[in-house]
Structure 1
Amino acid sequence: MTRFVHLTDLHISHPESGDTMLRTDTPAQVARAVEAIGKLTPAPDFVIASGDLTNIGDAKSYALLQEILAPLSMPVVLALGNHDKRGPFHTAYDTGKGEGPHYHDTVLAGLHVITLDTLLPGRVSGTICDEQFAFLTAALDRAPDLPKIIVAHHPPRIDPGELPWATLDQAISDRLATLLRGRGVLGILSGHVHINSVRMWHGVPLYVSQGLNSTVDLIEREDMRIMEGTGFSLFDLRGSGLTVTFVPLSPNAQELGRLEVARLLSFS
């Protein structure tokens, strides 16, 4: 079995960054997620963080992010989102890419993980540039026998009526769908919209996690009602296929009772 964790929308801000936009203590929430991941049995083989690593993209916040993630003993795959800034990120992680997009691929625990950079500087919406489509075309051929995971902060467009900033635009989504068709993609991991959802998109599962900042009220249909709520996604790949479990972290759950292991095993 291969196990991995999907984090997204960390929105880390250093206390000295001057960020006045956050409504939650994201460093504490990310630290809580790291602690929870450390308690998982079996331990994950790797962790994916799919963008909005910081809230304003400043150097101090990337340094704080590195500090908070340091206790993780497994590889961590990082993607960028619309709140990130490429220059400070590349400087903090010494990638040598300057202001260029952060795309890469790697093989972890028998999975080929391909990471794209959907950041469109200065915009809430996202895109995939021609340079990355060329990279993706080549990457898909590099490990043809391995199942693939695609990481992209902005999800592809499912419904033409979706908010234009919430997904990649229709043309880019269609281009991506054509490229991924029949290429052994187990799923696309995204964030950005702060909700938990699983959708089938042209035969490829799209997994979106609410992330570690906040969530939204899915019943309220007029305004966007921002709510307390954080968590991460736990994936297990078995011979029968890929499963996902959404793990809530906040609000704090009130215990209503317990069932002992012996009793659980006695049920038929």
Structure 2
Amino acid sequence: MRAYARLAALTALFAISPGAFAADTFLFAGTGSSGVSQDLVLGLSNGSSVTLTTGQALFTPGTLNQGWWGFDNANFNANDSIYVGALQPDPLDPAYLHRNFFTFSLAGITPGSIISAVLRINDVGVSSGSFPMTYSLFDVTTDSQTLNFNTGVNHSIYDDLGSGKLYAAQVVTKELSGSYAIGLNNAAIADLNAAAGRFFSLGGTLDTPPLVVTEPSALALLGIGLAAASLGRQRRHPLAPTSDQLFQD
């Protein structure tokens, strides 16, 4: 290979951003299935607060009111892990995506009394992947009992967990540990007040970083173009000497 073409190829290689190579991305994979419940902390208009948990008013005895639904990965009802995100082998393939959910009983809560709300995820377990990533929470229209019988695959429920009213969108910049708090917005507070006395669910989805080649890729394209041009000249004029022949191997 001519040194000129080799230089162009090396330019292309080193100009590709590391961000172009995506890894599997997920959050909260270590929670659930071990009795770790999640909290909904409500601030009330009388100045007090109340903490609800996914361990109250269970739909399935021994299984917390939390879990996940996969786009193409079947779950089972006794699994209350709140895994969310993408799994190997291809984190950008929707078939490997998962969304999680949390259900709380608002029994005893007076309608109109809630003025603030925070979802507190306890013992977040394992988080991995490319940062930053955005974890978002949405309203859930699926019946709470149906939602918590998270067996098999259900595309309608999966879609429900990542669409509708946005309750929160939190950027995660590093590996998580301990307890993780997410403040809910006014839309969530209004829906919580409307659901007082009944069950209330939230759906969670993780936006995985796209497979992008950042600005240095312009140099990569230039290098590839130069390499191609050099090889093209070599094929068209195999006998005609050119100045870059001085740099032959």
State TM-score, norm by structure 2. Answer: 0.22
Larger Rg: 2
State TM-score, norm by structure 1. Answer: 0.21
More RCO (CA 8 Å, sep 6+): 2
